Structures are given as structure tokens and as C-alpha cells.
Amino acid sequence: MNKAFIFDMDGVIVDSESIWISYEEKFLTKLIGRSTYVEIRDELLGNSISAIYKLAKKKGLKLTKKQFNNLYDQYAQKVYKEAPLIPNVWKLITKLLKSNFKLGLVSASRKISIDLVLKKLHFNPFGVVISTDAQNLHPKPYPDGFLKAMKVLNSDPEKTYILEDTPKGVLAARRSGAFTICLLKDTLASSKPSGADLYVKNINELITKLKL
């Protein structure tokens, strides 16, 4: 079995979450009204576009899913153009490859969004890239995406590390049985995801902890 390291995308590889919040507020407020947006705002982070659509639909969204996806993709172009890579994430990727890890990426984002992020990297280092939304897998907090990635990478939970930053992501990683790492960044203590095996404040700290 191979050693594997699986990344989440938003908030782990690319610093996009704050930018997404800004754009989601702009276009969801126009579509469903500000008061309704405020009601569902806390449920948006870490959710797939399908889950966000269902939430908005329940609150009165009139668009079809195809129309919503097309609009969302337009905003994705703007978000990932603006969003920088997480500091030192390429350094981590390079060190993992030198240490013979097989790398994977599992995200709830649409494939078009993932492709935009991959273009920001020097090359695609991932042996498997999974969009749970595109592949009709149960989204996080279900572990389906991570388990499929392990299978493709010819690894198993005992040899796999997963890097996440949201409560749903951490729970999904834990449920997969892999060693779960939570990137805290500016997370408040009150909203710190529970259940991770290791918490780090930045990528350099993770590199040190893993002795890469």
C-alpha cells in the first residue's frame, strides 16, 4: 500500500473562502433577498453547490438548477482569479512528493472550479482529483470522496493523511479512518472543528510536525 496525503481545496490549497462569502452574499442576496440569505449563510461554508441550491430553493429561489449552476460558475471564475494559494502549500506538496506520498484532492466544488485552481499550480501533482458534486458521491461529512481517493491511490486509512479546515471536512476525514489534520488559520476557538488528530495554524507548522 502507498502512503497517501489528501487535500481539501477551498481554505487548504487556495485561500478562497472569504472571497466566496463576499460573492455569495452579492448574488444570493439578489436572488432570494437579504433576510433569507442571512438565514442560510452559516450553512453555506463547506457545502456543495447542489446543497446550496437546495437550501436556496427551499427559501424561494426561482431558478432551475442549470441556471443556478451557470450563474455560480460565472462567479467561480472571478473568485479563483482573485484567490491566492495558501502560503507555503506548494512547499508542502513538493516535500510530500519527495517523501514518496501519493497525493489526492477531494472537494465539494464543481469540476470547473477545481480546474481553475489547478491552473494556479506549477503542475498537477495529484494522482486523483475528486469532485463529490460532479461524481454524485455523498458530500462531506460523508467519507465517500476520501475513500474513493484512497482506493485510486492504492492506499488505506492507516497510511493516509487528510488535510481539512471545516467541521464537515474534518468529520468526513475522521469517518474515513485516516489521520485527520485540521488547518486552523484564523479559526476562533468557539468554532474550532472537533475530532482532528492534529491541529496546525499554518502550513509551515504542519511541515515541521510531519518532519518532512
Residues 106 and 75 in one domain: no
The residue from 82, 98, 116 where one domain ends is: 82
Query: What is the number of domains present in the chain?
Result: 2
Residues 6+ away with beta carbon under 8 Å from 23 = 75, 78, 79
Domain residue limits at 139: 4-15+84-209
Residues 186 and 176 in one domain: yes
pTM: 0.90
Residues 204 and 112 in one domain: yes
Instruction: Copy the grid coordinates of residue 134.
Output: 460532479
Residues 72 and 29 in one domain: yes
Q: What is the largest CA-CA distance in the chain?
A: 52
pLDDT digits (tens), the chain, 212 positions? 999 999 999 999 999 988 888 887 887 787 777 887 888 887 776 677 888 888 888 888 888 989 988 888 888 889 999 999 999 999 999 999 999 999 999 999 989 999 999 999 989 999 999 999 888 899 899 999 999 999 999 999 999 999 999 999 999 999 999 999 999 976 555 568 999 999 999 999 999 999 99
Residues 98 and 193 in one domain: yes
* Contact present, 83 and 14 (Cβ < 8 Å): yes
Residues 89 and 191 in one domain: yes
What is the residue-wise DSSP string for 29-41? Answer: HHHH-HHHHHHHG
Residues 101 and 52 in one domain: no
Residues 90 and 187 in one domain: yes
